[in-house]
């Protein structure tokens, strides 16, 4: 009591004293921050500088990326008439979407089987899948082509699809397995004790709760398939160039800035999709739904 | 509401593993609050899983309302279960969680509203329908789990260590709440716990479980004061266990290896020469002045080794001619008991219990009492 009544009169600077009491805590939190920030910017710089350069060059008139910067949209016009690039982009999107959807379905089913049915054998499968991820794609692609040739399958769309799926599937499985293991079966048991049949309990409880992981795994599968040049290069049928293959061909024969334009468009699409999904995920209650998976990938 | 029975249930998780439930039989009456207590690994949770239909016993029957429900899946057993982790659905609101059972019975959200509100009222959380589980405290989540389990008016309520995740103060408050809610809902309830205080406080009837077998069953106060064997005596509270030899049966006289215990009630089958164990709860000792004449029961001289105040009472450790003794004293007496103080301890015959398990003089083999006690 005595201190509270006396404080304002005895210490005219009570307010500043309070601030001072707050200050040490703030400074403790700030200590070492500039160093970490510099490090963070360095890392971001390494990733984003080339991206920024590509974007800038896509608007620069010079064919060889020389300065001074002269703004133009001519490369976008060139891109619009470059049928080969547009067709390759379309092929890549179709392939990646199909593979991602198949990986999502099969991967989730496989993850459920590993966690719920195999149980004790789960470790074996998880180890095998992790190992599969570490095999270099180039080696995997060559080996797959060898096997395909040996069994008389040869290059083809089917082989391209299977090869891409084989590479993407483990990612979905591992992400979903981790989520399922974290979830346990108690929630489903609870649903069943309340009268839900097994399939209903799965649909109403487990599925919404693993949706984040499934979506995250699906996006991962899409991106991996989209970028998987070695697999495309060795397994795609002749004449069926995916976007990475087409870009490779262009680069071999001489680099045109309309590829910069294409890169800028793709980056723009990715960022827009990411921001839209992030906005949905951030909405109140949204973080409880499937959209929140984006936060795990982008956020 | 219903009565619930397990009849000679055996369960093992794998063929090469020892059974976790070994011929277990329990009989829970309609409207009764039945507490099962045992150390971890004693099979408590397995019992609930068998009752709930999540595990099929290897042998034996599960009877609900007199009919065999073996083979009936969990969703058709009509039991309310409160899980140890509460198992609230994190993606659903409190209202949707509580209404889940009604939804499974085909009730539309609008029709559910009244029942959900009534149940939240019952558990003391009116108006929290729109919250999500992660916005609630542990105690509130516990109440929501109760409301969700009760909303379908189940035949019985199964509670798996429902209070273990709460801190001490809320736990004590929730014990009272659990009893109130169970009475108001008039539902048969089975609780499993490793916490003996919880079991003693909550149950109309108490069962002590160990290694998949019933060690003792009865009214909590009776089981506490009349443990049949060493396991029950030491698992429920603490106990001073003194070994002795029966010298005479009528009137009884037990030689504790020097000191004599007389006037005690002996197990029916005790004969002169049998080895018995005498149990004195720490709070049943009376501190007497040194030199006070001995009376019927047990009188021992002892020296204080250590006294520790813990709230309203103090726990004292004394050295006696029979070894270490634990004595609970009132906090007002703690000041009088210094280290090294000599005291005379006395326990009257009715404060002392002779365990049922005895070593017969004839066979020399220990006969542990098993089977349900009445």
ipTM score of the complex?
A: 0.82
- Between A29 and A295, residue with greater pLDDT: A29
pLDDT of residue A244 exceeding 50, the answer is yes
Look at B100 and A192 and tell me if their CB atoms are within 8 Å.
no
CB-based contact B47:B21 (threshold 8 Å): yes
What is the rounded distance in angstroms from the CA atom of residue A191 to the CA atom of residue B152?
A: 13
Nearest CA-CA partner of B28 in B10, B1, B58 = B1
What pLDDT is attached to residue B168?
81
Average pLDDT per 10 consecutive residues for chain B, totaling 374 residues = 85 85 91 92 90 92 89 92 92 94 92 92 90 91 93 92 82 86 90 89 91 92 92 90 90 88 87 90 87 84 89 89 90 83 90 84 45 35
Residue A114 to chain B, least CA–CA distance (Å) = 19
- Give the total residue count for chain B: 374
What pLDDT is attached to residue B157?
93
In this prediction, residues A118-145 reach a mean pLDDT of: 85
Strand partners, B303: B319, B342
For the stretch A59-93, pLDDT in tens is 887 777 677 777 788 888 888 888 888 888 889 99
Q: What is the dihedral of CA A187, B40, B238, B247, to 10 degrees?
A: 140
- Residue of chain A nearest B158, judged by CA positions: A193
- Between B369 and A196, residue with greater pLDDT: A196
From chain B, the residues in CB contact with A200 under 8 A are: 104
Look at A190 and B87 and tell me if their CB atoms are within 8 Å.
yes
pTM of this structure:
0.76
- Residue of chain B nearest A208, judged by CA positions: B91
What pLDDT is attached to residue B362?
55
Look at B79 and A193 and tell me if their CB atoms are within 8 Å.
yes
- Residue of chain A nearest B106, judged by CA positions: A195
pLDDT of residue A7 exceeding 60, the answer is no
Classify residue A83 by burial, with Cβ atoms within 10 Å: 0-12, 13-18, 19+. Answer: exposed
From chain B, the residues in CB contact with A196 under 8 A are: 75, 100, 104
Look at A289 and B91 and tell me if their CB atoms are within 8 Å.
yes
Chain B residues with CB within 8 Å of chain A CB: 52, 54, 73-81, 83, 85, 87-91, 100-101, 104-105, 132, 148-149, 152
**Partner residue facing B75 (CB), from A197, A205, A285:** A197
- Residue A281: pLDDT band (50, 70, 90) is low
From chain A, the residues in CB contact with B88 under 8 A are: 190
What pLDDT is attached to residue A18?
42
Give the other-Cβ count within 10 Å of A11's Cβ. 12
pLDDT of residue A8 exceeding 60, the answer is no
Look at B89 and A190 and tell me if their CB atoms are within 8 Å.
yes
**Partner residue facing A192 (CB), from B75, B88, B148:** B75
pLDDT of residue A179 exceeding 80, the answer is yes
What is the rounded distance in angstroms from the CA atom of residue A79 to the CA atom of residue A174?
A: 39
Q: What is the dihedral of CA B254, B255, B259, B264, to 10 degrees?
A: 0
State which H helix or E strand residue B213 sits in: strand B213-218
CB-based contact A235:A148 (threshold 8 Å): yes
Residue A288 to chain B, least CA–CA distance (Å) = 5
- Residue of chain A nearest B75, judged by CA positions: A195
From chain A, the residues in CB contact with B153 under 8 A are: none
């Amino acid at each position: 009591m005595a201190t509270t009544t006396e404080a304002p009169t005895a210490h005219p600077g009570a307010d500043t004293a309070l601030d001072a009491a707050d200050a040490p805590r703030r400074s403790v939190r700030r200590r070492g921050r500039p160093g970490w920030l510099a490090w963070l910017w360095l890392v971001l710089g390494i990733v984003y500088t080339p991206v920024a350069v590509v974007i800038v060059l896509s608007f620069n008139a010079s064919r060889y990326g020389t300065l001074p910067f002269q703004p133009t949209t001519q490369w976008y016009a060139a891109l619009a008439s470059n049928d080969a690039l547009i067709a390759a982009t379309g092929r890549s999107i179709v392939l990646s979407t199909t593979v991602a959807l198949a990986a999502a379905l099969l991967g989730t089913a496989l993850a459920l089987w590993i966690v719920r049915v195999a149980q004790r054998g789960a470790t074996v499968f998880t180890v095998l899948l992790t190992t599969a991820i570490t095999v270099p794609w180039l080696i995997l692609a060559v080996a797959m082509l060898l096997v395909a040739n040996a069994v008389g399958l040869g290059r083809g769309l089917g082989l391209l699809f299977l090869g891409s799926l084989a590479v993407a599937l483990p990612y979905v499985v591992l992400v979903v397995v981790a989520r399922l293991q974290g979830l346990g079966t108690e929630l489903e048991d609870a649903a069943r004790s309340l009268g839900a049949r097994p399939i209903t309990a799965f649909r109403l409880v487990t599925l919404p709760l693993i949706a984040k992981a499934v979506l995250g795994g699906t996006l991962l599968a899409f991106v991996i398939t989209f970028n998987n040049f070695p697999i495309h290069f060795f397994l795609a049928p002749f004449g069926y160039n995916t976007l990475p293959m087409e870009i490779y061909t262009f680069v071999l024969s001489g680099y045109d800035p309309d590829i910069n334009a294409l890169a800028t468009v793709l980056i723009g699409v990715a960022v827009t999709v990411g921001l839209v999904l992030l906005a949905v995920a951030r909405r109140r209650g949204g973080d409880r739904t499937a959209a929140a998976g984006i936060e795990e990938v982008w956020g | 509401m219903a009565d619930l029975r397990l009849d000679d249930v055996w369960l093992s998780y794998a063929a090469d593993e020892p059974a976790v439930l070994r011929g277990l039989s329990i009989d829970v009456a309609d409207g009764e609050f039945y507490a099962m207590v045992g150390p971890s690994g004693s099979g408590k949770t397995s019992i609930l899983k068998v009752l709930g239909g999540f595990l099929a016993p290897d042998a034996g029957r599960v009877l609900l309302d007199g009919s065999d429900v073996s083979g009936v899946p969990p969703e058709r057993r009509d039991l309310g279960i409160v899980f140890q982790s509460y198992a609230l659905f994190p993606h659903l609101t409190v209202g949707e969680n509580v209404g889940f059972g009604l939804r499974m019975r085909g009730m539309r959200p609008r029709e559910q509203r009244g029942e959900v509100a009534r149940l939240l009222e019952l558990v003391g959380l009116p108006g929290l329908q729109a919250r999500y589980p992660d916005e609630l405290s542990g105690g509130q989540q516990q109440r929501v789990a109760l409301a969700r389990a009760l909303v379908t008016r189940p035949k019985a309520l199964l509670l798996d260590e429902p209070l273990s995740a709460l801190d001490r103060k809320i736990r004590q408050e929730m014990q009272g709440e659990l009893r109130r809610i169970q009475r108001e809902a008039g539902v048969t309830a089975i609780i499993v716990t490793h916490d003996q205080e919880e079991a003693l406080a909550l149950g109309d009837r108490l069962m002590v479980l160990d290694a998949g077998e019933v060690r003792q069953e009865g009214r909590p106060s009776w089981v506490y004061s009349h443990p049949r064997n060493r396991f029950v005596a030491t698992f429920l509270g603490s106990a001073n266990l003194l070994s002795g030899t029966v010298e005479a049966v009528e009137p009884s006289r037990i030689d504790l290896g020097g000191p004599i215990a007389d006037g005690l009630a002996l197990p029916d089958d005790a004969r002169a020469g049998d080895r018995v164990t005498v149990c004195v709860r720490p709070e049943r000792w009376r501190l007497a002045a040194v030199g006070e004449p001995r009376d019927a029961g047990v009188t021992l001289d002892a020296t204080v080794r250590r006294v520790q105040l813990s709230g309203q009472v103090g726990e004292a450790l004394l050295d006696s001619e029979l070894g270490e003794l634990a004595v609970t004293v009132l906090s007002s007496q703690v000041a009088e008991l210094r280290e090294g103080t000599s005291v005379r301890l006395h326990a009257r015959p009715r404060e002392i219990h002779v365990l049922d398990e005895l070593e017969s003089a004839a066979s020399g083999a220990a006969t542990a009492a098993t089977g349900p006690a009445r």
